[in-house]
Amino acid sequence: MSDEPDDDADNDVGGRHPGTIAPPPDQIADLARACVDYVKRALNVELDFSAETLPMLDHYLVTRRSDLFDRPDLLQLVARSSGAYFGEVVRRRVPAFWRLPANVRDWAVCARPVFLWFNPIGAAHEAIAGSDEHDGPSSVLHVAPEYRAAVDQRLANLPPVPEEEYYSLATRLEVIEIAIDELRLQLEKAGYSELEYDEGDYEVELTLN
């Protein structure tokens, strides 16, 4: 997996380009590379960590759904690898960092320009299941409590999508970007547009969840 900055980073929704994108943790790099290999072998398509590749990854996960349900061990592997890939797509578009505690249920991608975090492995489980009923981690978007209502209202105003698309990784990226945009607007209104969140800001919240 290339550690070079992604051209799409100029379109990041955080409002501030982070410059050179740091490489991911080795564990994430290995898992994301495995996802690229799986899709390449199955679809003869090379995933390049751009947002435009997510529909192809979604298609791969849907076509493997029945096989994965019959093999829980393989399901966990594919969910982790595709979740790592998805998290990297997000991280390359939004200034963010990975947090990797021992339990995969506590893994998180944490945004820097706004307070938002989520578990990409949970998002991958939902994409595979086509539902929020699965044995993987939660994929809920966590935001600062004072901005929860504003984000929920913004998302509630989105046009409905078919259920299959609702749980896709491509749709999840759109939701994340819209949530971040709303949070950025709320911070600007409050006069905090120059804030940047780091590991310490997330520590208490992530430890409690």
The mean pLDDT of 66-71, rounded to a whole number, is 92
Please tell me the predicted confidence (pLDDT) of residue 20: 73
Residue 208 pLDDT: 63
Predicted local distance difference test score (pLDDT) of residue 194: 83
b/e burial code for range 87-117 (CB count within 10 A of at least 16 → b): bbbbbbbbbbbbbeeeebeebbbbbbbbbbb
Give the whole-angstrom CA distance, residue 15 versus residue 175: 17
pTM over 0.85: yes
Residue 1's pLDDT band (cuts 50, 70, 90)? very low
Half-sphere exposure of 31 (CA within 13 A, CB side): 22
pLDDT at res. 164: 82
Average pLDDT, rounded, for the chain: 89
Indicate if the pLDDT at residue 18 is higher than 70. Answer: no
CA distances from 26 to 20, 32, 160 (A): 18, 10, 38
Tell me the per-residue pLDDT of 27-51, one tens digit each, with 9 for 90 and over: 999 999 999 999 999 999 999 999 9
pLDDT of 9 reads 39
Region 100-108: what's the mean pLDDT? 95
- Can you list the pairs that 187-191 forms with residues at least 24 positions away whose Cβ atoms lie under 8 Å? 187/114
Q: What is the mean pLDDT of residues 160-167?
A: 90
Residue pair 116/201 in contact by the 8 Å Cβ criterion: no
pLDDT bin (cut points 50, 70, 90) of residue 5 is: very low
Which among 134, 154, 155, 151 is positioned nearest to 142, based on CA atoms? 151
pLDDT at 6: 40
DSSP 164-187: HHHTSHHHHHHHHHHHHHHHHHHH
Are 122 and 115 in contact, with CB atoms under 8 Å apart?
A: no
